[in-house]
Amino acid sequence: MFMNEVISFLKSKLSNDDKVIVACSGGSDSMALLHLMLDNFPNHNIICAHVNHKVRKQSDKEYEYLKSFCEETNVIFEGMEISTKIKHNFESEARKIRYTFFDCLYNKYQAKFIITAHHADDLMETILMRLTRGSNLSGYAGIKFEEGKFLRPFISITKQEILEYVKTNNIKYYEDITNSQESHTRNKYRHKVLPFLKKENKDVHKKYLKFSKTLLEYDNFLEKYINDKELIVNNKVSTEKLIKEEYIVQKKVLELLVKEIQKNNFLEVSDKNVENMLNIINSSKSNSIVNLSNGYIGKKSYNTFEIYKQVINNDFNVVFNDRYEDDNWVILNVDNSCEKSNFVIRLNSEDIKLPLIIRNRLNGDVIKLKNLGSKKVKDIFIDSKVDKDERNSYPLVVDSDGNILWIPGLKKSKFDKEKDEKYDIILSSERK
Q: Residue 326 and residue 432: Cα distance in Å, rounded?
A: 9
Q: Give the Cβ contact number of residue 102 at 10 Å.
A: 23
- pLDDT per residue of the chain (432 residues) written in tens, 0 to 9: 678 999 999 999 999 999 999 999 999 999 999 999 999 999 999 999 999 877 777 888 999 999 999 999 999 999 988 766 665 666 777 788 888 899 989 999 999 999 999 999 999 999 999 999 888 889 999 999 999 999 999 999 999 999 999 999 999 999 877 666 666 788 899 999 999 999 999 999 999 999 999 999 999 999 999 999 999 998 899 999 999 999 999 999 999 999 888 766 677 788 889 999 999 999 998 889 998 887 889 999 889 999 987 766 568 899 998 899 887 899 999 988 888 899 999 999 999 999 999 999 998 999 999 888 999 999 999 998 887 767 888 999 999 999 999 999 999 999 999 988 999 999 999 987
Residues 6+ apart with CB under 8 A from 9: 145, 153, 156
Whether the Cβ atoms of residue 312 and residue 399 lie closer than 8 Å to each other: no
| pLDDT (0 to 100) of residue 261 | 81
Dihedral, CA atoms, 27, 32, 37, 43, nearest 10 degrees? 60
Q: Residue 306 and residue 287: Cα distance in Å, rounded?
A: 12
Nearest by Cα to 167 from 58, 31, 61: 31
The domain ranges of the chain are 2-201, 229-309, 317-431
Whether the Cβ atoms of residue 60 and residue 51 lie closer than 8 Å to each other: no
| pLDDT (0 to 100) of residue 91 | 72
Q: What is the largest CA-CA distance in the chain?
A: 71
2-201: what CATH class?
alpha beta
The CATH code of the domain at 229-309 is 3.30.465.60
| pLDDT (0 to 100) of residue 293 | 83
Q: Residue 218 and residue 220: Cα distance in Å, rounded?
A: 6
Whether the Cβ atoms of residue 153 and residue 3 lie closer than 8 Å to each other: no
Whether the Cβ atoms of residue 245 and residue 231 lie closer than 8 Å to each other: yes
Strand-pairing partners, residue 237, are: 232, 305
CATH number, domain 317-431, options 3.50.40.10, 3.40.50.720, 3.40.190.10, 3.30.60.50? 3.50.40.10
DSSP tally for the chain: helices H, then strands E: 14, 22
Which whole-number Å values give the CA distances from 210 to 3, 120, 154, 205, in the listed order? Answer: 19, 11, 15, 9
Residues 6+ apart with CB under 8 A from 261: 267, 296, 307
Task: Give this prediction's pTM.
Answer: 0.71
CA atoms within 13 A on the CB side of 138: 13
Q: Residue 333 and residue 254: Cα distance in Å, rounded?
A: 37
Q: Residue 28 and residue 22: Cα distance in Å, rounded?
A: 14
